[in-house]
Structure 1
Amino acid sequence: MSFEKAKTFLDKYRKEHPFVFYFLLTYLGGITLYLIIFFIWFADYNSPMALNEVGDFLAGAFSPIAFLFLYLGYRQNSEALRIQAEELRQSTEALQLQVAEMKESVEQQKLMGKIQETELEERHNAAMPFISSQGNIDVSSDLYGPSGQQFKFKIRFDNRSDNEAKNVFFYLGDDNNLPLSILSKNSNRNLSSPLTGEEITKYKSQQPFNREIYVDFENIYGRRFKSVFKLQCTFLNGSPQVFTEDLGMTKYTQPH
């Protein structure tokens, strides 16, 4: 190490640790002064000190410095640990803030999702057709039938809304599969379905019976719904009366 570098190091150490610097300077200066006085006035050059005595002297002289540096090392390690603990605390607080921000962001995303879901539901509800049904039983002559009569449910479906129903499927409780169609806004469609043998028997014996029918459809956004109705035939003073009960509308989750 050059003299300039040593001088720079000592100046820096003196500024950063003035107490240690001046203590060492005073202590080493005191030892040096003691040695000068000893060698000038008290040393006996005819009988020099034994090596073990010189070692004891050096150990006693420099042991305070060793303890000083031990203490300084302890202080330095303690300070480093304190700084690390402070950095860890700050890092933990920063992580906690990040976690809180992430939670807030997730909550906001959930809220936005709920808002979007609500808006979507409102849009679907606003575009949802309202379909109703009513029916009666028609008895007509059938020259070619086994009983000479033909019994049919006459069913009318009404779209009582300003929204169009697309890909409409009508199920009338028989095996006749009608093609998909459109039920325009504020329009209706009349369909018929023959009575089953059991229904004809009950009709002739004036026993009440019922049949469940449904219609499933899509709104203009492609969401599918299903409206279910129950046709109930009763007899009043021998006269057939057909009532239609609306069993409600649900989202159609299963493909037809």
Structure 2
Amino acid sequence: MNQKSLIIGIIITIVWFVGIYLFCSINEFSFSNKDLNSLGDFLAGIFAPVAFFWLILGYVQQGKQLDQNTKALEQQKNIQKKQFDAMNKSVEPRLVIENIQYVYLNNEGEDNFLIQAMFNLTNLGGVANEFYIRNNRNQAIYYLEQIDTKETKSIKIELGEFDVEINQRQQTILADIIFDFKNLYAVHIVLNYDVYYQTELESIDREEKCHIYRSS
């Protein structure tokens, strides 16, 4: 119980007993002419409200204490989360895609097609472990055990007919790919990328430059 509540409780208790004393004095109340039953009822009537008051005061104080403890735990949890986020931020891989090259392959007379994408992937941040590139069906199409800090990897992926969307009118190809990896603290990170490719669809084995950019 804090000091303020204790002082308030003591003052109210003193006022209560002073009021009882004045009441007894004014009404010339005497304990000597009372039988034990009457005396017991009188004393119970005096002390029961005081006991009940202190019980309520303790209950209210306990509730405040629990609320303070809950807020302290929430603050501690937020602090720990910020510290954990800062730790993850400090070791977060920063992936840069450069020197993108694409080859669009089309077999005449067949419905299937294939895109080969080649690019350099440089990690300017913390280490990336268990690095996967996945297609829009969440199938792994490339895997590296690790991309270390300031390391550059030459990547080559293949996208099939179910992995891309072709716009014949605009002669564009669009695909979604996913970079899926873990940071130094084994926190799982998923990055979504869009592959945008514009080409002459009827050309065979024509190499084109395209764009790969973060979508979210």
TM-score by length of 1: 0.56
Q: Which residue of 1 aligns with 2:70?
A: 106
Counterpart Cα distance in 1 of 2:91 and 2:70: 31
Residue of structure 2 in register with 1:7 after alignment: none
For 1:137, give the aligned amino acid.
Y
CA distance in 2, matches of 1:194, 1:90: 77
CA distance in 1, matches of 2:163, 2:73: 56
* Residue 133 of structure 2: aligned partner: 170
CA offset at residue 158 of structure 1?
2.0
Q: Which runs of 4+ in 1 moved over 6 A?
A: 173-176, 202-206
- For 1:13-92, what aligned pairs fall within 5 Å after superposition? 68-69=33-34, 73-74=37-38, 76-92=40-56
Q: C-alpha distance in 1, partners of 2:76/2:182? A: 27
Aligned-partner SS, 2:52: helix
Asked if the contact 2:141–2:157 (Cα under 8 Å) also holds between the matched residues in 1, the reply is no
Q: How far 1:244 sits from its partner (Å)?
A: 1.8
State whether residues 169 and 179 of structure 1, in contact with CA within 8 Å, keep that contact through their aligned partners in structure 2. yes
Cα 1:231/1:69, change in 2 over 3 Å: closer
Unaligned runs of 5+ residues in structure 2 are 1-29, 109-113
Cα distance per residue 1:206-240 (max 9 Å; x no partner): 8111122121111111101011211111259x994
Percent same amino acid among aligned pairs?
10
**1:101-127 deviation per Cα after TM superposition (whole angstroms, max 9, x unaligned):** 121111111111111111111111111
- The one of 101, 106, 120 aligned to 1:136: 101
> Larger C-alpha radius of gyration, 1 or 2?
1
Give the length in aligned residue pairs: 174
Q: TM-score, normalised on structure 2?
A: 0.65
Please give the alpha-carbon distance, in whole angstroms, between the structure 1 residues aligned to 2:83 and 2:49: 50
What are structure 1's unaligned runs of at least 5 residues? Answer: 1-18, 22-67, 249-256
* Aligned twin of 1:224: 188
Higher strand share: 2
Q: CA RMSD in A?
A: 3.7
Contact 1:133–1:229 (8 Å) recurs in 2? no
Greater length-normalized contact order (CA 8 Å, ≥ 6 residues apart): 2
1:247 to 2:215 alignment: yes
Kindly indicate which of the two structures has a greater share of residues assigned to helix: 1
